[in-house]
């Protein structure tokens, strides 16, 4: 594509470029205008829907306020309070009924109006036939009474289906209080026919949005109030769009007006606006299809598209005519440039008439004329330079051949010197490697010496620690043995106190013998006493038995004490053996261990001293090797410098050779250039 445009004539490419720019600009303008227009139309349509919705909502509010005001006005009749206090008063009943019927006759769109007692017993009604009925009982009555007591003014139950007429009605109640303003006496109720309100709402349309639908719903109960489909009225809402509005109202009760977009069951896209009436729990919803909302915008878009297309065609045609007229002199200029391309330097009269022009074409014509004259001078100069250049190239070629011969002689001498230096460097490198090997061996020896020094220090430290621990343990063991020996002797002495138990057992035996004699004497005396001494004889017998039992127990205690004394002696002998073993064997071994630790410490100190001497000698040897290595490095550096110098001379010889070759090549090129310049100069046509 780009190659094709490059090959087009200038006038054609300019016209195409202008057309592309115009199409792009008008396309962007169309896109921006269409978007802005569509947004404006959408916003206008939504604003119109919101305005219509607010108007409908205002009508509903006005309708409800008017109905509530009518009911309140009805409840203000002074006869009602007196009648509610005396419901059996026929005169007050007649006045209340007459006032109710007359008040109802002046109303429009009301289903009925009535006065009842606090228990909803109707005592005056616009339809006299229903007077006397009770409208609510039980829980519904209690709920109504509680709500009326909490409500200030009129309690509005909302739009419901009337049980009597089966029509949609707005049902309302208002309590009547005694003169104290607190005690409820009764209530008034009434219902307006909501069909009239629906007719008024249906009559309101939006210009340009004739198909807008509205729906009036009860958010609290989730039921329809008004809808185009009258079968849906008072039924539960199942429409997803309306259910989503109820959800939004529940989540954000502070947002009274909002907009939502949704897709209908027919697959078409819709936009809906709603207004929430929080004090009533109602919501008014208006919806319309995007196709109708954007209908005017689509029509305007088509008109704008046609206008843009016509503009593109006109601008392209005018641009083509203007470019064609403006580029006509370029044909003459193009012809003259083609002549220059063919090296035709002959003057042209057709170009000269444009040389005086002040525009771009005149400047190009003037430049071509000047360029033609310049090329003529260049052609003459080239002929002169070609001959001079040819002579100079031959002179340069001869000089370069002499330079090459000198360079070859220098190269031979330099190569011999380089070979000698390389041999010297090899010998120095071998000596250096040997010194490095010796240095590495010395370093390893030094590492081993250092390692041995560290090991000897650790061994000395360990032997000293062992000696200290052994001495401390020996002292502690001797102290502990002496302490244990004293404690054992003390314990054995205390165990000897058990021998007193033997003495006490002997005393018990003496006492039992005496008790036995007393028991025998008592038995003799009891036998003498006859029947009177039988009881005493029994006691004497028991005492004798007790004495025998005590004697037997004392004998056993003596036996146990004798066994204990034998055991104590055996324990004493065992402890004496243990103490003797600890004093003679363990303490002696600890003393030998301390002596051995002291001997190890002395040997380690001797080894450490020898290692220090080896370390010092090794340091001296390392220093000597380092000095030799440094001297060899200096010799190697000097040899390397010589080698580098020779290499540099070789490189310079090579560069000189290359330069000489280049000079020869340049001389040859100059001869070729001279021939080429002469050939070019001959191509210019000056006549």
pLDDT in tens, 233-279: 778 999 999 999 999 998 988 888 999 889 988 888 999 999 998 88
Give residue 71's pLDDT band: very low, low, confident or very high (50, 70, 90). Answer: very high
Question: Is there a domain that residue 101 lies in?
Answer: yes
Top-confidence range, 69-73, 202-206, 350-354, 670-674:
69-73
d(CA 123, CA 90): 11
When pLDDT is averaged across residues 619-629 and rounded to a whole number, the result is 65
Question: Is there a domain that residue 197 lies in?
Answer: yes
When pLDDT is averaged across residues 217-239 and rounded to a whole number, the result is 85
Give residue 69's pLDDT band: very low, low, confident or very high (50, 70, 90). Answer: very high
Mean pLDDT of the chain: 78
d(CA 445, CA 615): 9
Question: Is there a domain that residue 79 lies in?
Answer: yes
Beta-carbon contacts of residue 334 (< 8 Å; ≥ 6 apart): none
Q: Which residue has the tokens 């997803």?
A: 240
Beta-carbon contacts of residue 624 (< 8 Å; ≥ 6 apart): none
Most distant CA pair in the chain: distance in Å? 201
Beta-carbon contacts of residue 87 (< 8 Å; ≥ 6 apart): 93, 117, 123
d(CA 439, CA 668): 62
Question: Is there a domain that residue 498 lies in?
Answer: no
Question: Is there a domain that residue 166 lies in?
Answer: yes
Name the residue among 384, 340, 389, 305 with its Cα closest to residue 667: 389
Domain CATH code at residue 184: 3.30.450.20
| Side-by-side strand order, sheet with 257-263 | 223-226, 213-218, 282-289, 269-277, 257-263
Q: Cβ distance 249 to 219 under 8 Å?
A: yes
Q: How much is the CA Rg of the chain, to the nearest whole Å?
A: 69
Per-residue pLDDT, 333? 72
When pLDDT is averaged across residues 358-375 and rounded to a whole number, the result is 75
When pLDDT is averaged across residues 437-466 and rounded to a whole number, the result is 68
Question: Is there a domain that residue 318 lies in?
Answer: no
Top-confidence range, 131-145, 190-204, 283-297, 351-365:
131-145
The span from the first CA to the last CA of the chain, in angstroms, equals 43
Per-residue pLDDT, 421? 58
Q: Which residue has the tokens 């002689």?
A: 409
Per-residue pLDDT, 91? 94
Question: Token pair of 327, please?
Answer: 């580029």
Q: State the residue range of the domain holding 138.
A: 40-294
When pLDDT is averaged across residues 180-199 and rounded to a whole number, the result is 88
Q: Cβ distance 176 to 187 under 8 Å?
A: yes
Question: Is there a domain that residue 96 lies in?
Answer: yes
Q: Tally the domains of the chain.
A: 1
Q: Cβ distance 272 to 284 under 8 Å?
A: no
Lowest mean pLDDT among 8-12, 274-278, 369-373: 8-12
Question: Is there a domain that residue 185 lies in?
Answer: yes
DSSP lists the bridge partners of residue 117 as: 186
Per-residue pLDDT, 632? 61
| Residue 191 in this model has a pLDDT that exceeds 90 | yes
| Residue 643 in this model has a pLDDT that exceeds 60 | yes
Q: Which residues in 131-256 belong to E strands, given as ranges? A: 155-161, 168-177, 184-193, 213-218, 223-226
When pLDDT is averaged across residues 637-646 and rounded to a whole number, the result is 63
């Amino acid at each position: 594509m780009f190659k094709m445009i490059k090959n087009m004539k200038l006038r054609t490419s300019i016209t195409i470029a202008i057309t592309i720019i115009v199409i792009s600009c008008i396309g962007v303008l169309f896109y921006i205008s269409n978007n802005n227009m569509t947004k404006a139309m959408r916003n206008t349509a939504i604003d119109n829907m919101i305005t219509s919705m607010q108007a409908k909502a205002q009508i509903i509010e006005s309708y409800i306020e008017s109905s509530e005001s009518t009911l309140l006005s009805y409840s203000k009749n002074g006869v009602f309070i007196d009648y509610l206090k005396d419901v059996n008063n026929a005169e007050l009943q007649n006045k209340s009924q007459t006032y109710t019927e007359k008040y109802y006759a002046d109303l429009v769109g009301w289903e009925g109006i009535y006065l009842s007692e606090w228990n909803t017993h109707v005592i005056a009604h616009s339809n006299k036939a229903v007077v006397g009925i009770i409208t609510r009982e039980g829980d519904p009555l209690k709920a109504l009474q509680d709500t009326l007591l909490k409500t200030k003014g009129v309690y509005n139950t909302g739009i419901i289906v009337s049980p009597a007429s089966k029509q949609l009605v707005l049902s309302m109640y208002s309590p009547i209080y005694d003169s104290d303003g607190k005690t409820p006496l009764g209530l008034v109720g009434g219902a307006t026919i909501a069909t009239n309100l629906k007719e008024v709402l249906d009559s309101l349309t939006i210009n340009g949005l004739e198909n807008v639908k509205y729906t009036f719903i009860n958010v609290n109960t989730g039921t329809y109030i008004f809808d185009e489909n009258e079968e849906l009225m008072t039924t539960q809402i199942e429409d997803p769009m309306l259910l989503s509005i109820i959800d939004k109202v529940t989540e954000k009760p502070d947002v009274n007006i909002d907009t939502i977009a949704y897709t209908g069951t027919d697959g078409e896209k819709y936009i809906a606006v709603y207004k929430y009436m929080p004090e009533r729990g109602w919501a008014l919803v208006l919806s319309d299809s995007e196709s109708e909302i954007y209908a005017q915008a689509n029509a305007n878009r088509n008109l704008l598209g046609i206008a843009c297309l016509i503009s593109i065609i006109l601008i392209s045609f005018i641009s083509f005519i203007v470019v064609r007229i403006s580029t006509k002199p370029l044909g003459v200029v193009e012809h003259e440039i083609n002549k220059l391309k063919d090296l035709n330097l002959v003057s042209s009269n057709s170009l000269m008439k444009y040389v005086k022009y002040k525009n771009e074409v005149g400047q190009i014509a003037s430049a071509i004329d000047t360029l033609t004259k310049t090329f003529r001078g260049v052609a003459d100069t080239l002929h002169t330079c070609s001959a001079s250049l040819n002579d100079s190239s031959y002179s340069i070629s001869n000089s370069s051949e002499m330079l090459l011969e000198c360079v070859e002689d220098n190269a031979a001498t330099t190569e011999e010197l380089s070979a000698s230096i390389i041999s010297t460097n090899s010998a120095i490198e071998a000596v250096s490697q040997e010194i490095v090997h010796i240095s590495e061996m010395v370093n390893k020896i030094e590492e081993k010496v250092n390692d041995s020094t560290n090991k000897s220090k650790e061994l000395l430290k360990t032997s000293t620690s062992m000696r200290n621990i052994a001495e401390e343990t020996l002292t502690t063991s001797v102290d502990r043995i002496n302490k244990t020996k004293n404690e054992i002797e003390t314990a054995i002495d205390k165990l000897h106190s058990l021998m007193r138990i033997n003495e006490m057992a002997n005393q018990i035996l003496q006492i039992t013998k005496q008790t036995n004699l007393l028991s025998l004497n008592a038995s003799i005396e009891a036998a003498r006493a006859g029947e009177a001494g039988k009881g005493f004889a029994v006691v004497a017998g028991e005492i004798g038995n007790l004495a025998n039992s005590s004697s037997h127990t004392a004998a056993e205690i003596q036996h146990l004490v004798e066994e204990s004394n034998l055991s104590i002696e055996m324990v004493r002998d065992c402890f004496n053996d243990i103490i003797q073993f600890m004093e003679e064997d363990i303490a002696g071994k600890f003393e030998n261990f301390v002596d051995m630790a002291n001997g190890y410490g002395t040997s380690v100190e001797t080894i450490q001293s020898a290692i220090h001497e080896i370390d010092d000698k090794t340091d001296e040897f390392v220093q000597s090797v380092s000095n030799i290595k440094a001297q060899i490095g200096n010799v190697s550096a000097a040899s390397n410098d010589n080698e580098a110098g020779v290499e540099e001379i070789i490189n310079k010889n090579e560069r000189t050779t290359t330069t000489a070759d280049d000079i020869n090549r340049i001389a040859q090129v100059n001869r070729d250039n001279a021939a080429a310049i002469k050939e070019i100069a001959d191509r210019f046509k000056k006549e």
